[in-house]
Structure 1
């Protein structure tokens, strides 16, 4: 039972301990193994953490004698993460209880371009992205890790698990305390320091449907002496591949359209495959690709079954066709082949192996104010892979001897980069098969410091830290130069072909025939044109920090305390892509230049806490907290941030808190120095393409005319888009403001009722001058929509647009610029109840988050769109936890809820008053989604065992229509949905 008398002796501690432990804690954030008060638990942890009498809490640098904070802090204990069945710190942090439903980059994103590269896992609070959430380990920054040029956020894979004591989550801006990146909040992973002996732990999570099993084995060790302590852990974690083949709901992705005139069920509007009589799996909208097909000039032929017409430019081999194009049947968008069984080998959840070593320790020197010399080492090695699928579009030049005689008159298009200057005669769409990405990431972080007493009351802490990320990344690619070289052939006189240029061991491309079109390609040619491509990414960060804290002076109702410090950080990135990538030789992939740059920052900061009132009528406690920071970056100059917070406890059972502050995020190194990456937009993206169709009085018409283009101008060149860092364009830090208002209620009922706690916190975060790569299309539209004088002068975004005067081709520099705005508002609610029932203790916690607004826009003149409630951004989420503990036993039931989501209004498909519009052929909504879990734990003196089930009901992710949002199968690509299916888990520990 909660000891109210102990808490009530210090109303501030009482209210804030309640705010921290109860106000935002998820169900599994409570230490259900103990009936100690919050003060007693905090005091024990403070004593175990240092040789001081105080402990510093996330959100403040002022030491206190209990957990307290003006801002809400959520706590997740290690034991409860085990009860919930999580097999890694990554899983805990990306759970709904922590993220409140905002989507995270996890292991289902292996086939997408993400910051940190494939295999990296990141965390962003409040839906504001991972670069706006600061990750700490024992109060110190975890430097970015990962691969490729866009490394800018901490990779959760590097974090230890077994030695973690608790995770503290501050969901409030805190740049005045921690510096850059603490815009949406701060995550602080706190490790156990008082470890004596050796403990072994093993956990296995097995999926009910097969695939994706996770295993973790760890050893934790330590010793504590009179003047020193040492502890550490080593962990090995492995995750098996979970492929699309392993889950029924990914076997057949369909369009999932509705024929609103004929039927009201999803799929009634899908194309029915004439060969199977069922909705066609993996159409072009549903993730399929054109395969087993050739493209030619338009000519007369025989339609494939289910098709219509007599004129085609796409064909599929069919030996039974003897008229028209002999040996081929004509196919259209619906009848062409789009599915290859090898597609099901693609990773749904990508596999990985990690080794993590964590060491920490310290000893009392007996000098320099009874100083403790302390140190930490974190080393992590990750090997991860992702299996994908590749289509090969192979262009045969007009007149090539590799083309069969009845197709040699075809001219399918102009010259391409494979036809050696000749027009393209035939294009073969080939299902090439599976490819793999691989990453080997080595990360280490070492820090050491000295902390002690300046005086009897003032403490100091000096720390130096170095972090290093070294990653090799390998993927497979066709080389454009080798494909072109292999297609330039002559007869060898023996029924085969030889390369005109035999250098580099050239192997002639296969002739265009049924085997080639069907993907049965010669192994020696495949090995020569399809090669592994390797790059390397290095990221280094150095930090020096010094801070002091202690009492300043006395006021009538207490002592004013302060914390002051200075910090210097320097970071450097060096990403070296393969030379093939630098040379632009990767076929149908973008080129990439090296990303190299560095930045440094010097900062000074301070924090003050004023006890204004205490123990008087209507003010059991009234405290004011002020903090500020001055920042000077080498890259863009200086910034100042501040925060004002207060807590008022009018009566012992009621507390109010509020804060207002500014935060900032310095541009990540990749946002400043990303090497130029080239991509392309179609010719119709040219804003002046056929601009005569527009109103002559429109700004775009006038700008195109002022550029000297004829009114009947037709763009024939694609738009080149070069994405690069924004350092040269004067990129600045983005700034933000954050407001929080909270109330904590803990009424005093009789002892038979139990303890009831309720907390509510309103949050409001606005980011301005947001760093954003606006995109080629967005830059073009904004430029050609600007005033003609600015347009001609190249002002604003027009400085990023260039038109070649010889061929009118457009080039857009898609640099990172300060243009976007993001705004998040909402309410966090927590209700907790604890009571002794029978021989044990029962407790339940409900955490609920409601987003009032999740708005964003890129350009100043854009409308601010509120995405709350749309697909991928639920307006409401909740977690519910119920646990009962008696003696050595404990049982737990957990429930996660994600509210229904829909995007009908955004796409103007909604009828008033209807959730599912009768007039829309698209399914762009998801219903309420629930995930349940259950576990049982037994704890003996030296060992413990926990078994349980996650996703108890084997809930599949809900389905949507294709072509609107990114999908996996027919499910929305969204981390809040469970792709694993039912999992059984078992965790065993043994201590010596």
Structure 2
């Protein structure tokens, strides 16, 4: 049983600790529900307890007597629930609403934290609106590539965690900038004595995705000091697509990304999705509806058909090449997905030292405690992606490897896996300071501290050298019959300066290995020499530094009739620095199909002044046993944004010994982070079909004609296109080149501000001492003004062309269109203040504890969150489009858990059940209905699977604890519930990988068994 429950019984304060999200003892700490009928023994014991500091305030008080909505994750529950690391601990809590940026996402998408990072998102807001602390002190960002702006929650050794507090109201007035959605405060163990070793393993029933952890701790204490050293190694095995049957269909016997649809008769329709890549595009035309290679010579320049690699057979007259895919030899790019990592392989080494020592006298003060924290973590992650990137260079007729005799475009997947990433980050955090009581005012305490953090990240991505690929295309046969590349027109003139026919390696771009026919075979070059010649590495190195100093003092100010007024007064100074650069390959855009990535560098500093007051207003009055008020204020002086102030007020009204009312309100402030201010210029490319004026695929008929019956674009879009002078019924029918995009920091950004409110009650049953039962119900609401967005190309264009204020809408100023072709050529995706975000809902928490004479102790905890709305109101569109994300991926309407624990002697059993509500592709953005878009993309004649029913995940464990050793055995996902598997097009509307939905709370591993053993001396 949690020691926090024991402490609550001693103090009889209203702490509903243990309202476990999925059995985690995630416990809102409820304030001021003081029970006056406690016996004298408990009162005496409570009086002897030391006061402590609770997350949400720096004022010392009895135990967890906090007015603010607070949830606590207990270390015992972390162990018994089989949770492997801090990311899983936090991301499975009920308040982790919104898509969570974990390491399943970091390799496939560009995120604010970079690849290899795990972050936490609270209340459906952005991850950079949640503040992460260790022992009440800020944690610096870490990551690699671009300009990482978020801290990685996995830097902390799991077994060194005593508890995790999650504060669920705006706390900028207490903890500073970024605490918009809330605060996550990791409290480290500080009282360990002895030597302990431990091991943990988690093994899925099916192959792939297992994880293992080994740890060691040593600690000791004396009259004047104590220390603890912890070392941990963690390894996560990769989980690939072909490790599970989600993407497998026995009809075709293939693992791949699929179109998944439901036919009218209820049957499941499934087909591998993706571009056909084992082909060559020929510039010919059709005779009587049939392709004819010879007709090319009569009609040069006309687009023709594709021919496919068919070794051993041919209907074109060219050995090994056939028309169409009637031979069933067509090879789709999605076949390569079977080796894609859903969960990447990763390992982590963590070292943590904490200690303090009390000096009898220092700087005129007595009993001064010097404290130190030193944390170092090395993380290594390898992402393997099935998407290799397509290559389609034009190969001229005189290339000796070209069997067609005229210019053609081979289309194949690169054997160089450009989407693979190797990431390594090293994170070092040093914090030290002084604590004590003032000699001249013993009832007042103080703390001063300073710290330095450095995160160093390195990434490497394989790529195709674009210059060398151009040289390879310029392959000819010289007069002596030798095949050479890097020269032109059968001459020896060097085209690339450093390259000559002597060191250029000719590559056969028509080799059968590049055009596999078997769905289980990946493309490869004809020789290893060809691979080595074209491959280059694209690397990035990122350094993030944080220097911080601060101090505060706290103690009683004066007496009121209801009690003592206490206060806190403090100051904090911080400087963040970023230097993120790339090699010349990345900086100059030398890799084929990759964007240019310029250096990101900059710094920002601020000074903050803050104060808190705890005021008892009424005590011992009928229907007002205790009424108290907490006030906090902070003044932030930012280098770029001047002075900004925030405040908070929290009230608690203990009406009786069983009913307490709580209310909070507060403001928060978040200045643009280093990424939003100093991100170096990054260029990228988006499909030309993101242009709303281009004829969509579904509205294209035979022979590249326009079919209006399948055009689902809104009338306002068509009208705006026509007003711009382009024809939305013909644009792009003859070709849709990619649209270049650009992204960089924006020094003109305004800071975000927010208001947060909560109102609720706590009912603690007063009828019997035989058991404890409590219920808390709370309403919450958060409104963020001037929310900062880094828009994507499709989002910006959707805002522009769906606007009734076209072309004066601010989004319309962010794109350029070629006056000759009418096609879009450029979109600016620089971040800017785009919207107001509002979220509100209800938290429900319940607890039941009872001791049975025969069965032992029984504890029941319930935690649930109902999100009523999560809306974005754009300030830049005339029609003020309102978008509600509740029910979308990552934001179910209901999320919660129940936990049941039985304890008898040294034995305990935990059963927990975690609930995720229904999620679907329901997002509507400025008139663009993703559901309609997905249905329009259905290719098999059915309704696309774009939603997933509510699901319960059940876990069960048994633990045996003695004085020096402990063992736990358990099973996660007891009933082997599958994650959300949806249509490929629907997955593309969220952060999905193939058909899997990532970052939305679903269990990707299936049933798995875990064991933990520890031994102490």
TM-score, L = length of structure 2: 0.84
Query: Is the alpha carbon distance of 1:247 and 1:919 closer, same or farther for their aligned partners in structure 2, counting shifts above 3 Å?
Result: closer
The answer for the alignment partner of 1:948 in structure 2 is: 970
The answer for the alignment partner of 2:832 in structure 1 is: 817
Query: Is the alpha carbon distance of 1:908 and 1:9 closer, same or farther for their aligned partners in structure 2, counting shifts above 3 Å?
Result: closer
Report whether the alignment pairs 1:884 with 2:902: yes
Structure 2 distance, partners of 1:697, 1:253, is: 35
Alpha-carbon displacement from aligned partner over 1:346-368 (angstroms, at most 9, x marks no partner): 21211111111111111112222
Report whether the alignment pairs 1:652 with 2:657: yes
1:510/1:516 contact within 8 Å kept: no
**Paired residue secondary structure (1:524):** helix
The answer for the alignment partner of 2:778 in structure 1 is: 761
Shift of 1:71: 1.2
**Paired residue secondary structure (1:457):** strand
The answer for the alignment partner of 1:589 in structure 2 is: 594
The answer for the alignment partner of 1:42 in structure 2 is: none
The answer for the alignment partner of 2:308 in structure 1 is: 316
Picking from 395, 398, 402, the partner of 1:397 is 395
1:483/1:529 contact within 8 Å kept: yes
Report whether the alignment pairs 1:328 with 2:321: yes
Query: Is the alpha carbon distance of 1:712 and 1:113 closer, same or farther for their aligned partners in structure 2, counting shifts above 3 Å?
Result: closer
Picking from 973, 983, 992, the partner of 1:961 is 983
Structure 2 distance, partners of 1:978, 1:4, is: 30
Report whether the alignment pairs 1:988 with 2:1013: yes
Where do 1:567-582 residues align within 5 Å? 567-582=572-587
1:304/1:335 contact within 8 Å kept: no
Report whether the alignment pairs 1:161 with 2:158: yes
Structure 2 distance, partners of 1:118, 1:926, is: 27
Structure 2 distance, partners of 1:835, 1:297, is: 80
Report whether the alignment pairs 1:924 with 2:967: no
The answer for the alignment partner of 1:913 in structure 2 is: none
Shift of 1:485: 1.6
Structure 1 distance, partners of 2:73, 2:739, is: 50
The answer for the alignment partner of 1:55 in structure 2 is: 52
Structure 2 distance, partners of 1:432, 1:496, is: 22
Shift of 1:790: 8.4
Structure 2 distance, partners of 1:6, 1:719, is: 62
Structure 2 distance, partners of 1:4, 1:89, is: 23
The 10-residue stretch of structure 1 (148-157 or 51-60) with the greater mean CA deviation from structure 2: 51-60
Shift of 1:515: 3.7
1:909/1:919 contact within 8 Å kept: no
Picking from 435, 443, 449, the partner of 2:433 is 449
**Paired residue secondary structure (1:528):** helix
Alpha-carbon displacement from aligned partner over 1:390-437 (angstroms, at most 9, x marks no partner): 0431313333414535x3334xxxxxxxxxxxxxx3233235264631
Picking from 790, 795, 808, the partner of 1:773 is 790
Structure 1 distance, partners of 2:625, 2:9, is: 10
Shift of 1:342: 5.0
Picking from 853, 863, 866, the partner of 1:847 is 863
Report whether the alignment pairs 1:349 with 2:349: no
Query: Is the alpha carbon distance of 1:568 and 1:965 closer, same or farther for their aligned partners in structure 2, counting shifts above 3 Å?
Result: same
Report whether the alignment pairs 1:677 with 2:699: no
Picking from 180, 188, 193, the partner of 1:191 is 188
Shift of 1:814: 1.6
Alpha-carbon displacement from aligned partner over 1:423-467 (angstroms, at most 9, x marks no partner): xx3233235264631111110000111112221111111110111
**Paired residue secondary structure (2:76):** helix
**Paired residue secondary structure (2:219):** strand
Alpha-carbon displacement from aligned partner over 1:554-587 (angstroms, at most 9, x marks no partner): 1111111111111111001111012111101121
Report whether the alignment pairs 1:506 with 2:504: yes
Where do 1:513-524 residues align within 5 Å? 513-518=511-516, 519-521=523-525, 522-524=527-529
The answer for the alignment partner of 1:45 in structure 2 is: none
The answer for the alignment partner of 1:915 in structure 2 is: none
Picking from 1003, 1006, 1010, the partner of 1:978 is 1003
2:382/2:421 contact within 8 Å kept: yes
Query: Is the alpha carbon distance of 1:361 and 1:783 closer, same or farther for their aligned partners in structure 2, counting shifts above 3 Å?
Result: same
The answer for the alignment partner of 2:378 in structure 1 is: 381
Structure 1 distance, partners of 2:313, 2:219, is: 76
Structure 2 distance, partners of 1:466, 1:904, is: 44
1:470/1:537 contact within 8 Å kept: yes
**Paired residue secondary structure (1:55):** strand
Query: Is the alpha carbon distance of 1:302 and 1:954 closer, same or farther for their aligned partners in structure 2, counting shifts above 3 Å?
Result: farther
1:356/1:380 contact within 8 Å kept: yes
**Structure 2 unpaired stretches of 5+:** 28-32, 36-47, 249-254, 297-302, 488-493, 517-522, 697-707, 709-713, 933-939
Where do 1:799-878 residues align within 5 Å? 800-801=814-815, 810-839=825-854, 840-861=856-877, 862-878=880-896
Query: Is the alpha carbon distance of 1:30 and 1:943 closer, same or farther for their aligned partners in structure 2, counting shifts above 3 Å?
Result: farther
The answer for the alignment partner of 1:14 in structure 2 is: 13
**Paired residue secondary structure (2:397):** coil
Query: Is the alpha carbon distance of 1:768 and 1:556 closer, same or farther for their aligned partners in structure 2, counting shifts above 3 Å?
Result: same
Report whether the alignment pairs 1:283 with 2:273: yes
Report whether the alignment pairs 1:555 with 2:560: yes
Shift of 1:848: 1.1
The 10-residue stretch of structure 1 (964-973 or 600-609) with the greater mean CA deviation from structure 2: 964-973
Question: What is the root-mean-square deviation of aligned Cα atoms in Å?
Answer: 3.5
Where do 1:159-238 residues align within 5 Å? 159-238=156-235
The answer for the alignment partner of 1:94 in structure 2 is: 91
Picking from 541, 544, 551, the partner of 2:549 is 544
Query: Is the alpha carbon distance of 1:532 and 1:961 closer, same or farther for their aligned partners in structure 2, counting shifts above 3 Å?
Result: same
Structure 1 distance, partners of 2:225, 2:943, is: 69
**Structure 1 unpaired stretches of 5+:** 32-36, 40-50, 271-279, 411-424, 911-917
1:107/1:121 contact within 8 Å kept: no
Shift of 1:864: 1.5
Picking from 296, 310, 317, the partner of 2:282 is 296
The answer for the alignment partner of 1:624 in structure 2 is: 629
Query: Is the alpha carbon distance of 1:335 and 1:637 closer, same or farther for their aligned partners in structure 2, counting shifts above 3 Å?
Result: farther
**Paired residue secondary structure (1:660):** strand
Structure 1 distance, partners of 2:961, 2:693, is: 72
Where do 1:387-466 residues align within 5 Å? 387-389=384-386, 390-405=388-403, 407-410=404-407, 425-430=408-413, 432=415, 434=417, 436-454=420-438, 455-466=441-452
**Paired residue secondary structure (1:131):** helix
**Paired residue secondary structure (2:586):** helix
1:249/1:969 contact within 8 Å kept: no
Query: Is the alpha carbon distance of 1:498 and 1:149 closer, same or farther for their aligned partners in structure 2, counting shifts above 3 Å?
Result: closer
- The alignment of Structure 1 onto Structure 2 pairs a total of residues equal to 918
The answer for the alignment partner of 1:724 in structure 2 is: 744
Shift of 1:469: 0.3
Structure 2 distance, partners of 1:188, 1:695, is: 50
Alpha-carbon displacement from aligned partner over 1:314-347 (angstroms, at most 9, x marks no partner): 2212343244766432337998321576532221
**Paired residue secondary structure (1:986):** strand
2:262/2:945 contact within 8 Å kept: no
Alpha-carbon displacement from aligned partner over 1:487-537 (angstroms, at most 9, x marks no partner): 212214345333314835421221524344343412112112122222100
Alpha-carbon displacement from aligned partner over 1:669-689 (angstroms, at most 9, x marks no partner): 011111111123455666777
Structure 2 distance, partners of 1:181, 1:3, is: 29
